Structure 1
Amino acid sequence: MNSVVIEQPGKLVIQKRELPLPAVGEVRVRVKYAGICGSDVHIYHGHNPFAKYPRVIGHEFFGEIDAVGAGVDAGRIGERVAVDPVVSCGHCYPCSVGRPNVCTELSVIGVHRDGGFSDYACAPAKNAYVIPEAIPDPLASMVEPFTIAANITAFLQPTPRDVALVYGAGPMGLTAVQVLKGVYGVSQVIVADRIAERLEMALESGADRVIDNTSLSLQDELEKLGIRPTLIVDAACHPAILQEAVKLASPAARIGLLGFSGDASSVTQQSITSKEISIFTSRLNSHRFPQVIEWMVQGKIDVSKLITHYMDAADVEAALTLFEKDQRHCCKVILKF
């Protein structure tokens, strides 16, 4: 089989490998489609502190089960499945309170262990979620990206009364927009970004208003509109955003952070406690696949709005470059295997 391998930072090869055998409790998936994420690019460049090399990347993937390991019902062969990349121990404190995404022994498929940019990939059977026929194959790998929005909004508990501000109109920001509008019915969703084409994508995904803050002051623009956001999602992940978000937020607001920057954010206790602002962080997802699959079937989210390119897996290097460099015209790239 062919596998996309990052042998070391900056060195990508398509490598011939032996067909993997599923271990006890695992299934083997014949991969059909896999999405490119920013973390794949970070691993490629050596900027992901969690990745081990050499590594088969890819954590957003869909396919069909073609083999099972010991302890797995053979009746699962032939199932169409999307794979949750979060592999947890099931018994540590985070796992015991429903937070497997921060398991003390966390392993992420495509980061800590080989992922889905391969003709075949193995995963725990419990991580392979059946995809209903209502969801076509080319869209099924999009379940995982929307679990990120599902996870942060589960903490934020949006309501129709909220006025939401989303920083960033990249893939993560756009999933948040769709979930806020389509699932929770938030009354007004505002998106701030510095790329006009991405802001247009935000409108297409349901944003009520967009602000290009390339040269404008976001604070001034919101003040002109008489808006103090009650809910803020940072999907741009710049360390300076938290301080601004706290300043812009309404008293009693909730702020959700999706960032992974190692740089310090400057914020005072007084600025948070004086408004009694709640700050939530979110990493990956905690068993959100069934929820997102249901949203897709019910039509509450439209994952196709984020997909701008389908490319053959053989062209993965060009696809990664396109995803990284052309943010004006590229949002989600889906690889075909």
Structure 2
Amino acid sequence: MKSVTIQQPEKLVIEERSAPQPLPGEVRIRVTCAGICGSDVHIYRGHNPFAKYPRVIGHEFFGLIDAVGEGVEKSRIGERVVGDPVVSCGHCYPCAVGRPNVCAELQVIGVHRDGGFSEYVTLPAKNAHVVPDSIPDNEATMVEPFTIAANICSQMKPGPLDTVLIYGAGPMGLTSIQVLRGVYGVKEIIVADRIDERLSMAKANGADRVINNANSDLKTELDALGIRPTLIIDAACHPSILPEAISLASPAARIGIMGFSSEACVISQQAITSKELTIFSSRLNSNRFPLVISWMTERKIQPEKLITHQFPYTQVLDAMELFEKDQKQCCKVLLKF
């Protein structure tokens, strides 16, 4: 089989490998479509502290089950499935309380173990989720990105009284807009970003207002509108955002952090406590795949709006360079296997 492998930072090859055999309790997927995520680029560039090399990257993938391991029903062969990249132990404290995404022994497919940028990938059978025929292959590949939004929203519990501010109109921000609008019916969504083309994407995906905070002061803009956000999502991942979000938030607001920056930021305890703010963080997803598949089936979200480019996997370097550098026109890039 052909696999996209990062042998070491800045060294990507498409190499011939033996097809993996599913272990007991596992299935093997013949991958047909996979999505590029920022974390894939980070592994390629050597900026992901969790990745070990060499590594087959890719954690957003769709395909057909073509083999099963011992203990898995053979009737599963032929199923159209998407793979949940979160592989957990099932018995530690986080797993016991329904948060396998921060399992004490967490393995992420495409990071800690080989991923879906390959013609075949193996994973636990419970991680392979059936996709109805009504969802096209391309859209099915988008289930994983939407589970990120589903995960943070499940913690923050948005509702029709909420006025939402989202920092960042990249893929995480855009999926959050769609989920907040189509599933939770929030009152108003404001999006801040520094790229006008990204803000246009935000409007197309359901934002009510957009603000270019490269050219204007966000607090001044919100004050002029008389807006105090009751729910704020940081989908831009810069250390300056959390202190600003705390200052902008309404009393009793919730703030959600989706980023993974290691840079320090300075926040005021008094600013948090005086408004009794709640701050959530969210990593990956905790069993949100069935929920997102149901949203797609019911057309509460429109994943096709986010797919801007497609490439054969043989052009993976071109695809990753486009994803990394063209923030004006590019959102989600899919690879075809």
User: How far is the alpha carbon of 1:268 from its aligned partner?
Assistant: 1.0
1:35-74 to 2 correspondences below 5 Å: 35-74=35-74
Identity rate, percent: 69
Counterpart of 2:213?
Answer: 213
Unaligned 5+ residue runs, structure 2?
Answer: none
Equivalent-residue separation in structure 2 for 1:142 and 1:277 (angstroms): 32
Shift of 1:138: 1.6
2:234 aligned partner:
234
State the alpha-carbon separation in 1 of the partners of residues 150 and 10 from structure 2.
32
Q: Does residue 19 of structure 1 match 2:19?
A: yes
Specify the alignment match of 2:330 in structure 1: 330
SS at match of 1:40: helix
TM-score (norm 1): 1.00
Q: What CA deviation, in whole Å up to 9, does each residue of 1:126-180 have, x standing for no partner?
A: 0000000110112111000000000000010000110000000000000000001
Give me the whole-angstrom Cα distance separating, in 1, the residues matched to 2:91 and 2:174: 34
- In the TM superposition, what whole-angstrom CA distance separates every residue of 1:2-27 from its partner, at most 9, and x where no partner exists? 00000000000000001110111110
Q: Distance in 2 between matches of 1:30 and 1:240?
A: 43
**1:289 Cα offset (Å):** 0.1
Q: Deviations over 1:211-235 (max 9, x none)?
A: 0111200000000000000000000
Between the aligned partners of 1:111 and 1:78, the Cα distance in structure 2 is 27
Matches within 5 A, 1:1-337: 1-337=1-337
Q: What is the letter of the counterpart of residue 257 of structure 1?
A: I
Q: Show structure 1 runs of 5+ residues with no match.
A: none
Amino acid of the residue matched to residue 247 of structure 1? S
Q: Secondary structure at the match of 1:192?
A: strand
Secondary structure of the 1:255 match is strand
Q: Match for 1:76: what amino acid?
A: R
Runs of 4 or more off by more than 4 Å in structure 1? none
Distance 1:335 1:181 in 2: 28
The one-letter code sitting in structure 2 at the alignment partner of 1:213 is N
Alignment: residue pair count: 337
Paired with 1:297 and 1:39, the residues of 2 have a C-alpha distance of 27
Q: Distance in 2 between matches of 1:137 and 1:258?
A: 27
In the TM superposition, what whole-angstrom CA distance separates every residue of 1:307-334 from its partner, at most 9, and x where no partner exists? 0001110000110000000000100001
Give the CA RMSD over aligned residues. 0.4
**Structure 2 counterpart of 1:85, one-letter code:** P
Equivalent AA in structure 2 for residue 168 of structure 1: G
Return the alpha-carbon distance in structure 1 between the equivalents of residues 256 and 139 of structure 2. 27
Q: TM-score, normalised by structure 2?
A: 1.00
For residues 306 and 48 of structure 2, the distance between their equivalents in structure 1, rounded to whole angstroms, comes to 24
